[in-house]
Structure 1
Amino acid sequence: MSSTETMNMQLTLIPTPIGNLKDITLRALEELRNADLILAEDTRTTGILLKYYEIARPLQSYHIFNEHKSVLKIVDTIRSGKKVVLVSDAGTPGISDPGFLLVRACLENGIGVTCLPGATAFVPALVMSGLPSDAFVFEGFLPVKKGRQTRLNALKEESRTMVFYESPHRILKTLEQFRETFGDDRRAAVSREISKMYEETVRGTLSEILTIFAGKAPKGEIVIVIEGNKN
């Protein structure tokens, strides 16, 4: 923390379970119980978590559609002495979820920022993939349209293991693009529903995995891990 940040003015980012509601730390629960305001990507989703742990604190929506408009108001709220915490629907705020703009605004205004350790989907997916995890690149969600192929082409020679997020309705198209870009025999793993009842990880070459999912696209949130270029 720099000398310009004040300890009694702080934003706290709290990771939330990516599936199983029990995957939350004692410290996270304590911070939620002590918060004056909880910023939530979806108040309905966060409300389920809070109800499960019998936590009743004020909730306010903070998501990609309102974050630009609400950042300065939140900064003022923290400056007024309120204890504000930020959560996303699942995982760590700022990792393919809203959070960066607010963190930057807080730091620019001398407000301290801390992030609790906790759940994020790509770490268990990477570890379970069986692919090298000593060095990797996290790409998150690829651009949906503009810039998508450009980004894939830039990754053709990437030697480190690559990690991507994808939605179930685009998974088949994405796997096909990966196969076209990286080749039929590039090893990969697809994990879905991590920590939930129907958790599944499918491993093999891109061609094999695409064949498995061709008949029936998988449901749930998906993490794709792809072997780096070994040539």
Structure 2
Amino acid sequence: MDDRQDGNRGYMIGQAAFGARPLEPALYVVATPIGNLGDITIRALETLAAADIVACEDTRVTRVLLDRYGIKRRTTAYHEHNADEAGPRLVEAIASGRSVALVSDAGTPLVSDPGYRLVEQAIEAGLRVVPIPGASALLAALTASGLPSDAFLFAGFLPSKSGQRRTRLEELRAVPATLVFYESPRRLDECLASMVEVLGDRPAAIGRELTKTFEEMRRAPLSALAAHYADADTPKGEVVICVGPPIAREMEAAEDIDALLLSLAEEMGSSRAAGEAARMTGGRKADLYRRLMDLKADGD
């Protein structure tokens, strides 16, 4: 794997040409634009122009960016389907003195893509890993959502199957932070309906096609968003969902139910305690039983 191309370390901004100095051997994790190619950073351009190897999720997508800025480096594929073979080769290249720039199709690598495996392998080999920060869809949506950003949890993609999706949302229901999800536009209506059912009618926001020509930020309670997308045509483009943290009374209610479950469990078996709590609160016995098991495990 010889992709040094020492005579082509440069990039263009408009009509101005700039040179880029060779990089030290390392894995450079480079954030790229999530839509608008003007969102690239100068440091990212310098890194991509100087790297011995540019490893891409999709070489065709990255080539559009490189061509925009006159970067002539060769690219090599690194994605979930070839990570087992490509990863060791890239680590070996760094160990032999080369620099590798890792990019995803859009945004910051490792966020919902397999790049973490390569970082893990590089660290295990004692190699340097250098972050080159920049665009991120989850942060772009969060900052424009109008929801609390002092504490947030990125939960990635929810499971596609309804039962598994509900279970995951139940796990996140009491998290005292804004929740951020990625979702396929084809499943958006189903996902929002599950969120209303499990999380309640919290403030929320949906970012779509962020930084692109038809960018949209829609802010409303979850129930209103669910109703809108249930009636609308399937939206186009990448979707980010931000859901506000549980309101105080929801958190208090959860704490009260925990106390009720533990109190009942002192007097009867777990299954019966969950059933009695379901009768008293209107909750589902299966959910309450699972919560009781978690409480007991935490208390061990």
Provide the TM-score with structure 2 as the length reference. 0.72
Separation (CA, whole Å) in 1 of partners of 2:85 and 2:193: 38
Separation (CA, whole Å) in 1 of partners of 2:166 and 2:86: 33
- 1:147 Cα shift? 4.0
Separation (CA, whole Å) in 2 of partners of 1:217 and 1:169: 6
Higher RCO structure (Cα 8 Å, ≥6 apart): 1
Which range moved further: 146-155 or 124-133?
146-155
- 1:148 Cα shift? 2.9
Aligned to 2:37, the other structure's residue is in SS state coil
- 1:83 Cα shift? 1.4
- Unpaired stretches in structure 1, ≥5 consecutive residues: 1-6
Aligned to 1:111, the other structure's residue is in SS state coil
- Superposed CA RMSD in Å reads 1.4
Partner of 1:38: 54
Separation (CA, whole Å) in 2 of partners of 1:13 and 1:223: 22
Residues 1:216 and 2:270 are matched in the alignment? no
Mapping for residues 121-140 of structure 1, pairs under 5 Å? 121-140=137-156
Partner of 2:18: none
1:105 is aligned, of 114, 121, 133, to: 121
1:50 is aligned, of 62, 66, 74, to: 66
Partner of 1:15: 31
Partner of 1:60: 76
1:144 is aligned, of 160, 170, 174, to: 160
- 1:176 Cα shift? 1.0
Provide the TM-score with structure 1 as the length reference. 0.93
Which range moved further: 137-146 or 122-131?
137-146
Separation (CA, whole Å) in 1 of partners of 2:167 and 2:38: 40
Equivalent pairs, count: 224
1:92 is aligned, of 95, 100, 108, to: 108
Contact 2:54–2:100 (Cα < 8 Å) also in 1: yes
Residues 1:153 and 2:170 are matched in the alignment? yes
Contact 1:88–1:98 (Cα < 8 Å) also in 2: no
Higher-Rg structure is 2
- 1:111 Cα shift? 0.5
Aligned to 2:54, the other structure's residue is in SS state strand
Contact 1:36–1:84 (Cα < 8 Å) also in 2: yes
- 1:143 Cα shift? 2.6
Separation (CA, whole Å) in 2 of partners of 1:158 and 1:36: 43
- 1:23 Cα shift? 0.2
Runs of 4+ in 1 over 6 A off after TM superposition: none
Q: Deviation per CA, 1:141-183, whole angstroms, max 9, x where unpaired? A: 1233484332111112122110000111111111111111112
Contact 1:135–1:160 (Cα < 8 Å) also in 2: yes
Q: 1:200 corresponds to which letter in structure 2? A: E
Report the CA distance shift for 1:33/1:8 in structure 2 as closer, same or farther (over 3 A): closer
Separation (CA, whole Å) in 1 of partners of 2:182 and 2:219: 16
Aligned to 1:115, the other structure's residue is in SS state strand
